[in-house]
Chain A
Amino acid sequence: MSLQRILRVAVHGLALAAPFLAVAGGPARAQDEPRVIAITAKRFEFSPNQITLSKGETVKLRIQSEDVTHGLFVRPLGIDAEIAPGRVTELTVTPQAAGTYRAICDHFCGAGHGGMKMTIVVEGPPASAGPGR
């Protein structure tokens, strides 16, 4: 069974020593430096709960848990990360298809786990298929 990977994702899973950064909309970046989007996860929400990317743009998602281990999972975008507390998990993503995608926590975290989700909007020419799942 093949899984269609529209987006290439690098899950570094590093315990980064760098401070937790929220760079989106910040000062000008070097030419090759990807935009950085900071995301916090806590029971039972992501913050922000919606982010917007551009098709073909490489971005870094820096995700930090404020309490327990969470997950960030978006099958059509190839995102599948475990977000352990006490460290920053970094994902590099380059969306290849426009659309609206639902990201979920896939690490069972308690009573409200089923409602822990966020929306990823990828702007650009729409893909021929319907909205991603």
Chain B
Amino acid sequence: MKKNLDRRRFLKIAGTSMGVGALYTVWPSLGRSAEAAELARRLGATTGERPTPFTFAQLSDAHVGFDGPIGTRALEKAVATINSLSRRPDLVLFTGDLTHDTENAGEHAARMNLFKEIAGRLQVAKVYHVPGEHDAGLDGGELFRSVFGPTSYSFDHRGVHFIALDNVSRARPEVGEEQRAWLARDLARFHQTTPIVVFTHRPLFDLRPDWEWFTSDGDEVMNHLAPYENVTVLYGHIHREDHHTIGHSRHFAARSLIFAFPDPEKVDEKKAVPFDKDRPFANLGLRIIDRTPGQATPADTVRVQDVELAMNELSGTEGFNQILKPATF
């Protein structure tokens, strides 16, 4: 194969903050060259499916059962918004804290079932979940597993390898040796250019450790992923948008569906952004950007698809500055 194809740019995943979550567009920038076709063939051989364009959405931190003013309204709005998209995502990934914890096991099960009922309205092909500490921290993930199955797993979709990692069920911010060994085995069959999406609850790096925004063995996890050139890590937990690039890997946090946390660089105490009854979806507002494959430059590919929740609830333009941010990454 010729070396003039930049394999790291072979397949791009464009993250789009929607406020209530994030929408991602995946497409292979193949062109029609022979070497690109050969690379697609090779990737198809390792993942079982050649890369083709698709979109998926990430939603996070619904905290069903939390005693707050939003209740399940943002979750329901997010579901309705995704269902209304003209270009429906193939997948929806929930990155944890589906429910808020309670020591009443029956009540927690009721919250999980309510979440499942609302999320079940999503009109997409597949919905995947990982737990957050509020789902699994008190019972080691027993309730989550009884409703959704394993807390860590992997699957392939249109040439992308997805890996669900559990960094909450051990009660502390940790993936653990057993799961790391599984990860190493899971990755072994893939070529270094294979697009990989890891989704988990907590950040896999030290974002703000004294706010518990870290994973204690995140370094070891990322060491397993380091040889791979196309790694995207999606997480929740921090209730705010965040982008980090570490080596070949890009890390994106989605906003929550319940309340927002402040910028950790600007305040010392982790306290929720106060609720404003006149602007109930502030910091949870909906923003969508789609990117159309096949365009020449990133600026040309950015397309504002909808601002439904923000526009409806706020009757304003909040969030528009951030709409353009994905054009830069």
Residues of A within 8 A of B (CB): 1, 3, 69, 71, 73-75, 80, 82, 101-102, 104, 106-111, 113-114, 117, 133
Q: How far is the CA of A110 from the CA of B137 in the complex (A)?
A: 8
A-B contact pairs, 28 of them (CB 8 A): A1-B219, A1-B222, A1-B246, A3-B206, A3-B219, A69-B171, A73-B212, A75-B214, A101-B210, A104-B210, A104-B212, A106-B172, A106-B173, A106-B216, A107-B171, A107-B172, A108-B137, A108-B138, A108-B171, A108-B172, A110-B103, A111-B102, A111-B103, A113-B137, A114-B212, A117-B210, A133-B208, A133-B209
Contact A106 B219 (CB under 8 A): no
Q: How far is the CA of A106 from the CA of B209 in the complex (A)?
A: 10
Top 10 A-B residue pairs of the complex, sorted by shortest distance between their CB atoms: A108-B137, A75-B209, A102-B210, A133-B210, A108-B133, A107-B172, A108-B171, A1-B219, A107-B171, A106-B172
Residues of B within 8 A of A (CB): 101-103, 133, 137-138, 168, 171-173, 205-206, 208-212, 214, 216, 219, 222, 246, 270
Contact B173 A75 (CB under 8 A): no
For B169, the closest partner residue in chain A by CB is: A108
For A80, the closest partner residue in chain B by CB is: B216
Q: Secondary structure at chain B's binding surface: helix, strand, loop or mixed?
A: loop
Tally A-B pairs: CB < 8 A: 50
Q: Given the complex, which residues of B lie within 8 Å of A73, measured CB to CB?
A: 209, 212
Q: Identify the interface centre among B172, B219, B270: most chain A CB within 10 Å of its CB.
A: B172
Q: How far is the CA of A83 from the CA of B222 in the complex (A)?
A: 27
Q: How far is the CA of A114 from the CA of B209 in the complex (A)?
A: 12
Apart from A106-B216, A108-B138, A133-B209: 5 A-B pairs, beta carbons within 8 A: A71-B172, A107-B172, A108-B133, A108-B168, A114-B270
Q: Given the complex, which residues of B lie within 8 Å of A1, measured CB to CB?
A: 205-206, 219, 222, 246
For B103, the closest partner residue in chain A by CB is: A110
Q: Given the complex, which residues of A lie within 8 Å of B210, measured CB to CB?
A: 74-75, 101-102, 104, 117, 133
Residue in contact with A111 in the complex, picked from B101, B209, B212, CB distance below 8 Å: B101
Contact B138 A75 (CB under 8 A): no
Name the distance in Å between A115's Cβ and chain B's nearest Cβ: 9
Q: How far is the CA of A127 from the CA of B222 in the complex (A)?
A: 30
Q: Given the complex, which residues of B lie within 8 Å of A82, measured CB to CB?
A: 172
Q: How far is the CA of A69 from the CA of B170 in the complex (A)?
A: 11
